[in-house]
Amino acid sequence: MNDSILFTTLTTASGHLFGRATLNAPASLNALTLEMIDLLGPQLDAWAADPNVAGVMLDGAGEKGFCAGGDVVAQCHAIRRVGPGNVPPEAEAFFEREYRLDCRIHTYPKPLLCWGHGIVMGGGVGLLAAASHRVVTPRTKLAMPEITIGLYPDVGGSWFMGRMPGRTGIFFAVTGAPMNAADARFAGLADFTLRHEEHAAVLEAIAASRWAGDRTPDATQLSHLLERYGNEAALMQPPMPSPLRTHYDRIAAVMGHDEMADIAPRLAALTNDPDPWLAQAGTTFVKGSPTSAAISFDLQQRARHMSLADVFRLEYQASIGFCVHNDFAEGVRALLVDKDKRPQWQPATLGEVSREFIEAHYVKRFEGAHPLADL
């Protein structure tokens, strides 16, 4: 029996059910494996089709985090096994099914509450951002730090980060800067801030409520329930400062409306900033993959007027492209496998990342219809 995801249901006062899916790999901070994705997708479909199910909660086991992202170490091993220039079948399967799952959550026909406590990174952000009701807690640390592993903010990040206020989305994409709960709310990636200690009480309140079995009134009722707990939490602690809100104008000036080559020196200058949050953002950018920075920037430009489904199709091609080039496997090796933290990026500088090299990441490496053509 596979217990990497725990599926349960709550019986509510109206007789309706509320599905609950718990990512259950706390030792890895609930990092998503293909096996977990393949369990979660069909169960969400079954709950969506069941008229007795009024809504769904998605959360993570343990106290440290909801989800630290996808299992990139497995992808690294697969890439190294097939050798440079080849596409590992594990990567094709993982990215197709992960993006299919994310799109399913974005378009889910019933209220879906995601409890984004603690570490929420990479693929975990993809799950949280897609939900209709997104909860963060005072201990949430949200980030898309893919530049440190030679990838880019995927899982729809090209779409939802491009819709963050001002120029903050591309700033987060190329610096991997962490967000707290207040930042996530300001950025539009979360809706409610509750104390993690209220998790059990929220489940009890959902069970004690009467649901209509109709998305619109049920979504409104769930919002009111979460607002009530959020208001109580706000009374118990001082407002959380938001570095994103504090530095909004500064970020706008640094990112400007230029090309990445113009922005890069201004980001690099942040490494000496007296504010530690900005200084760390600048340092991460300088140490990160130049290819990741260039393609993160390019993808947000391309995705600006795309549908969500088209973005997932484009990201699939880009992610497979990263698998056949150097930096993704090298970045994961340096940070998570050998842990020497000395990645050898190729190309080594942003100036060496040519337009032709960027375009090479989008080449269709599949035959026939796009694997996500039916989204």
The model's pLDDT over 236-293, given as tens digits with 9 standing for 90+, comes to 677 889 999 999 999 999 999 889 999 999 999 999 999 999 999 999 999 999 999 9
Model pLDDT, residue 232: 73
Q: What single-letter amino acid sits at 351? A: G
Model pLDDT, residue 361: 97
Low-confidence ranges of the chain (pLDDT < 70): 1, 233-236
Mark whether 123 is an active-site residue. yes
The residues, any chain, with a CB within 8 Å of residue 155's CB and separated by 6 or more, are 70, 98, 99, 102, 122, 123, 125, 126, 127, 129, 315
Is 5-360 a domain of CATH 3.40.640.10?
Answer: no
Active-site position among 71, 90, 98, 146: 146
The model's pLDDT over 353-367, given as tens digits with 9 standing for 90+, comes to 999 999 999 999 999
Tell me which DSSP letter residue 35 carries. Answer: H
Active-site position among 71, 154, 191, 198: 154
Active-site position among 62, 70, 169, 176: 70
Model pLDDT, residue 234: 67
Mark whether 169 is an active-site residue. no
Where do the DSSP E strands lie in the chain?
5-11, 17-23, 53-60, 65-67, 112-116, 119-121, 133-136, 141-143, 192-193
Active-site position among 19, 116, 122, 123: 123
pTM of the model as a whole: 0.96
3-state SS, residue 339 = coil
The span from the CA of 141 to the CA of 65, in Å, is: 9
